[in-house]
Amino acid sequence: MRDLKLGPNGDVIIEDGDAATVSDNDELNQRIAVTLQTRLDEFEPEEDSWGLTRENALGKAFNEDFLREDIEDAITSQVDERISVQEINFDENEATRSLAVDIKYTIPDSDEVQTVNANLGGDD
């Protein structure tokens, strides 16, 4: 697939006067990051729920095991059910109430391990 390339703040990247695009592994990485950075049901009306619930991600209810399950569910149900998540690591910053997430996964029909990073909450 092909999609518009987004910068770190979510803006479309313009290169040489045209909107830049991403494809293949880069597009899949971007789709995973955007899904995880979007609050569940943030965009309405949508027929299907889209995004990640923040219930287990930030604040007093932070629970790594539950959040890992939420992330895997979001990726397999909203991005591609064939993705196999291998590892999820968290870096919590209580001062900014943000959570950096590093995810290692294998792409469909390949043993190649990909890594995607997403920031949840805060000003990141």
pTM for this structure?
Answer: 0.82
Per-residue model confidence (pLDDT) at position 7: 87
Residues with pLDDT less than 70, the chain: 44-46, 59, 61, 122-124
Does an H or E element contain 55, and which?
none
Residue 90: the pLDDT is: 92
Domain 2-121 sits in CATH 3.40.50.920: no
The dihedral region occupied by 80, where left means phi > 0, alpha psi between -120 and 50, and beta the remainder, is beta
* 67-98 tens-digit pLDDT: 999 999 999 999 989 899 999 999 988 787 78
pLDDT of residue 2: 86
Q: Which residues of 81-98 are buried (b: 16+ CB within 10 A; e: fewer)?
A: eebebeebeeebeeeeeb
pLDDT, residue 63, reads 82
Annotated domain spans of the chain:
2-121
Question: What does 59-124 look like in DSSP terms, one character per residue?
Answer: GGG--HHHHHHHHHHHIIIII-TT-EEEEEEEEEETTTTEEEEEEEEEPTT---EEEEEEEEETT-
Find the helix or strand (DSSP H, E) in which 15 lies: strand 14-15
| Cα angle for residues 20, 53, 99 (degrees, 5° grid) | 70
